[in-house]
Amino acid sequence: MSEAGGVIRRGAVRASLRDLSHLLRIVGKPRWATPALLALGFLSSVAETLGITLILLFLYLVSNRETGDGFQGRALGEAIASLGSPTRLAVAILLLILARGALALVYSLISSSIGERISERTRNLVHEQYLRVAFGFVQQREQSQLMEVLGTESWLVAQAYGAVTRLIINSCSIFVFAVFLLTISWKILLIAAVGSIAISAILRIFSRPARDLGRQVKKIHQSLGEHMLMTLQALRTIRAYGQEALHQRRFVQSSAAARNASLSLIRLSSWIGPTTEIGYLGMLGSIVLVSGWWHISFEVTLAAVALLYRLQPHTQEFESNLLLLAQMQPQLRSVLEMIQSEDKEYPSQGIVALSNLDASIVFEHVSFGYDPDALVLNDLSFEIPAGVTTALIGASGAGKTTIVNLLLRLYEPTSGDIKIDGTRLEDVKRDDWLSRIAVTGQDVDLVEGTVTNNIRMAKADATEDEIIAAARSAGVAEFVEGLPERYDTWIGQEGLRFSGGQRQRIGLARAVLRDPDFLILDEAMNALDTALEDQVRRAIGRQLGNRTILLITHRIETARDAANVIWIENGRVRRQGPASLVVPQYQQHQQEIVSATDDQSKGR
Ligand SMILES: Nc1ncnc2c1ncn2[C@@H]1O[C@H](COP(=O)(O)OP(=O)(O)OP(=O)(O)O)[C@@H](O)[C@H]1O
C-alpha cells in the first residue's frame, strides 16, 4: 500500500514539476533567479552546518575533551589549534550565525520579489488570453472556472516555484549534513539514511490522497465560485422568485464542503510534523543505543545527534514541499491549459487596411455553427449596401444575432466568405474594421462604473462634452441629468437602478459616441415606447443618417423605412429585397403561422 501511495504521489509531483517548468517557460523569470536562490540556500546550509560543528568544537575546547582519531576528530583538532582560543571560536560562531541570518534575509527578499513577478506575469497572461483567444473558447467555459483560474490559481504558480526552490535547497542541506555526518561516522550515517527512508515511506502512506484531494478542492472551490457569481449576478431573480432560503442553503452546503476540503488538506500536511519528529526521536534513540554496541565514542555520538537534530526541520520541509506540489498539480495543469497557446485558435489580425466602408458588406455562401456539427447559418448569401439602412428580420432563433457575431469577428464562418468592399473580412485589419463599427442591442452590457465610464467604453479618449452630446442624442440626458450625481451616478453590471429602456439608451449613446461607419442595432430600441423610439431614431438619424445601418428588429413596422430587407429563416435567406416587397410577404407568413396555431389549439 505504501508503495502504491508513493507511486501516486511521486507521479503527481513529477506531473507538477513538468507543468511548472512548462508554465515558467511561458511566463518567464530572470535567468539568474534559480541559480541565485540555490546558491543562497546552499551557502546558508553550509553556514548552519559549520556553525553546529563549531559549537561542538567550542564544547570540546571548554571541557578539555579529546576530539578523537577519526577524520572529523583530526579536522576538529586542527581547527582548535588554528583558532586557538574559546573567544575566537565564539566570535566565529557568532559570525556564522549572522551570516546565516543575512543569507536567509537575502533569500527571502529575492524569492518574494521573483514570486510576485511570476504571479503578476501569470495573471496578466491569463487575462490577456481571455481577451485574445477565439471567443468560442471562453464562451464554452463556465464563468466560475475562468474566475478561479484568474483570481486564485494563477497565484499558485509562484507558490509552486517557491516550493521547488525550497525542495532543492532542502536537498542541498540534507546533502551537506550527510557529508558532515559521514566525516563523523559512516555507521551513524547508515542508520540515519535507513531511518529517513522509513520516515519518508510512512509519510507517503499519509499523503497518498494528495493529488485527489487537490482535485476535489479545485472542484469545490469552483462550485463555491459559481454560487458567489450567481448571488451577485442573479440577485434580482433570486429575490423575485423568493429563492433566498434555497439559495442560502445551497451556498451554506457548498461553503461547508469547502471548509471540509480545506481541513482535509491541512490534516494531511499536519501529519508531517509529528511523524518526522517521532521518527527522528526513534532514530536518535537507535543511534545512542547502537553507538554502545558499535563502540562509537560519546563525542562522536553527541556530534551526530546534534547534526541530525538540526537536519530534522529540513527533512520536514522537504516532505511538506513534496506534498504541496502533489496537491497543486490539478491547479497548475488548469493554469497551463489556460495560458498555453499552441492548442488554441486566435482570430486573424488581417493585413489589409480599411479607411472607409464605401460599397458593401457581402455574405457569400456563409455557413456557421457554434458546434461544427450543427449549422446555425446555412449557405447564406446577401448584401448590406453601404450608406443605407438594411433590416434583418426573422423569427426568434433564426440566426440574426449570429450574423452580428460573425460581423463583429467574435466567430469565423465555418465556410464561405464575408467581404468588405470586396476584401475578405479575415484579411481586413481587425482593428481598422472594429474601429468602424458600433453595436448596441436588447441586452446592453453595462459595467461597474459611472454613467460616463459606461458611455466612454465606445471611445476611451472621449471628452466630457462629447459624452454629454452623445447622451443627449440617445435620450440619456432626460433621466441622468435629473439625478443628484448626474453623469457620475454609479451603475453596476446589472444596471438595476435603470429601466430596460434607460439601459438601452446608454447603449445607443455609446454607439453615437463611437461615430461609426457601420451601426448595428440589434433590437436596440425594443424596450422604448413608440414615441421615444421615434425621438431617439430621429436624433440618431440626424447624426448617423448617411451611415450603413443594420437594423435587427421584431417590430416589423420599423423595418418599413429600411432601403433593403433580409428575411432569415432557420439560418437561410428566405427573401431579400426592397421593404415594400419583403415586409408584406413576411407579415403574411406570420399571419399564416398565427392562423395555423389557432386552428391547432381549436382542434385540440
Ligand atoms: N453561444 C451560442 N452557443 C451555441 N448556440 C448558440 C449560441 N448563441 C446562439 N445559439 C443558437 O443559435 C441559433 C440562432 O441564435 P441567434 O441568437 O442567432 O438567433 P436570433 O435570430 O438572433 O434570435 P432572437 O431573435 O431570439 O434574438 C439558436 O438556435 C441558438 O440556440
Q: Is residue 166 part of a domain?
A: yes
Helix or strand holding residue 596 (H, E): helix 579-603
If asked whether residues 505 and 391 sit together in one domain, one would say no
DSSP strand pairing (360-368 vs 518-522): unpaired
Q: Which atom of ligand 1 is nearest to the CA of 404?
A: 18
Asked if 524 contacts 508 with a C-beta cutoff of 8 angstroms, the reply is yes
> How far apart are the CA of 349 and the centre of ligand 1, in A?
26
* Per-residue model confidence (pLDDT) at position 6: 46
* Per-residue model confidence (pLDDT) at position 207: 65
If asked whether residues 7 and 154 sit together in one domain, one would say yes
Closest-CA residue, ligand 1 atom 28, reads: 397
If asked whether residues 183 and 103 sit together in one domain, one would say yes
- Ligand 1 touching residue 135 (CB < 6 A): no
Q: Which atom of ligand 1 is nearest to the CA of 136?
A: 1
**Residue to mutate, 402, 552, 569, ligand 1, most ligand atoms under 8 Å from C-beta:** 402
- Ligand 1 touching residue 370 (CB < 6 A): yes
| Integer Cα distance of 322 and 237 in angstroms | 46
- Does the pLDDT of residue 569 top 80, yes or no? yes
Q: Is residue 279 part of a domain?
A: yes
* Per-residue model confidence (pLDDT) at position 206: 67
The predicted-structure confidence for 220-233, as pLDDT tens digits, reads as follows: 888 888 888 888 87
- Does the pLDDT of residue 2 top 50, yes or no? no
- Output phi, psi for 120, to 5 deg: -60, -50
- Ligand 1 touching residue 580 (CB < 6 A): no
* Per-residue model confidence (pLDDT) at position 1: 37
The residues near 191 (Cβ < 8 Å, ≥ 6 apart) are 283, 286, 287, 290
Q: Of 289, 320, 339, which residue sits at a domain end?
A: 339
Closest-CA residue, ligand 1 atom 29, reads: 397
Comparison of pLDDT for 524 and 462, the residue scoring more: 462
Domain enclosing residue 301, as ranges: 2-207+271-339
Nearest to 12 by CA among 263, 216, 270, 209: 209
- Output phi, psi for 363, to 5 deg: -95, 125
- Ligand 1 touching residue 140 (CB < 6 A): no
* Per-residue model confidence (pLDDT) at position 64: 58
Q: Is residue 125 part of a domain?
A: yes
Domain containing 391 — which CATH number?
3.40.50.300
Closest-CA residue, ligand 1 atom 3, reads: 370
- Ligand 1 touching residue 400 (CB < 6 A): yes
Comparison of pLDDT for 359 and 125, the residue scoring more: 125
- Output phi, psi for 564, to 5 deg: -150, 135
Look-up of cell digits 475578405: 424
Q: What is the ipTM of this complex?
A: 0.97
> How far apart are the CA of 497 and the centre of ligand 1, in A?
28
If asked whether residues 454 and 411 sit together in one domain, one would say no
If asked whether residues 203 and 55 sit together in one domain, one would say yes
> How far apart are the CA of 397 and the centre of ligand 1, in A?
5
If asked whether residues 75 and 171 sit together in one domain, one would say yes
The residues near 227 (Cβ < 8 Å, ≥ 6 apart) are 247, 250, 251, 254
Q: Of 339, 372, 398, which residue sits at a domain end?
A: 339
Q: Is residue 218 part of a domain?
A: no
* Per-residue model confidence (pLDDT) at position 323: 86
> How far apart are the CA of 376 and the centre of ligand 1, in A?
8
Beta bridge partners of 363: 382, 418
Q: Which atom of ligand 1 is nearest to the CA of 554?
A: 25
> How far apart are the CA of 511 and the centre of ligand 1, in A?
23
Q: Which atom of ligand 1 is nearest to the CA of 568?
A: 21
If asked whether residues 55 and 77 sit together in one domain, one would say yes
**Residue to mutate, 376, 411, 526, ligand 1, most ligand atoms under 8 Å from C-beta:** 376
Q: What is the mean pLDDT of residues 29-39?
A: 84
Q: Is residue 508 part of a domain?
A: yes
Q: Of 317, 339, 361, which residue sits at a domain end?
A: 339
Q: Is residue 159 part of a domain?
A: yes
Looking at the 3D structure of the chain, how many domains does it have? 3
* Per-residue model confidence (pLDDT) at position 76: 61
- Ligand 1 touching residue 397 (CB < 6 A): yes
Q: Is residue 232 part of a domain?
A: no
- Ligand 1 touching residue 450 (CB < 6 A): no
The predicted-structure confidence for 416-473, as pLDDT tens digits, reads as follows: 999 999 899 999 999 999 999 988 877 767 777 888 988 998 888 889 889 998 888 8
Q: Is residue 53 part of a domain?
A: yes
- Output phi, psi for 578, to 5 deg: -65, 150
* Per-residue model confidence (pLDDT) at position 418: 95
* Per-residue model confidence (pLDDT) at position 236: 72
> How far apart are the CA of 523 and the centre of ligand 1, in A?
14
Name the band, by pLDDT with cuts 50, 70 and 90, for residue 39.
Answer: confident
If asked whether residues 489 and 524 sit together in one domain, one would say no
Asked if 544 contacts 461 with a C-beta cutoff of 8 angstroms, the reply is no
* Per-residue model confidence (pLDDT) at position 376: 94
If asked whether residues 275 and 361 sit together in one domain, one would say no
If asked whether residues 425 and 499 sit together in one domain, one would say no
Give the burial string for 280-318 (b: 16+ CB within 10 Å, else e): beebbeebeeebeeeebbebbbbbbbbbbebbbebbbbb
451-455 own/partner pairs: CB under 8 Å, 24+ apart: 451/476, 451/480, 451/486, 451/487, 451/488, 451/489, 451/491, 451/506, 452/487, 452/488, 454/491, 454/506, 454/510, 455/506, 455/509, 455/510, 455/513
Helix or strand holding residue 93 (H, E): helix 86-132
Nearest to 230 by CA among 494, 557, 518, 515: 494
> How far apart are the CA of 538 and the centre of ligand 1, in A?
30
Name the band, by pLDDT with cuts 50, 70 and 90, for residue 303.
Answer: confident
If asked whether residues 305 and 411 sit together in one domain, one would say no
Work out the mean pLDDT of the chain and round it to a whole number.
83
Closest-CA residue, ligand 1 atom 4, reads: 370
> How far apart are the CA of 536 and the centre of ligand 1, in A?
27
If asked whether residues 149 and 75 sit together in one domain, one would say yes
Task: Report helix, strand or coil for 352.
Answer: strand
Q: What is the mean pLDDT of residues 398-402?
A: 92
The predicted-structure confidence for 90-113, as pLDDT tens digits, reads as follows: 787 788 888 888 888 888 888 888
CB count within 10 Å of CB 197 equals 10
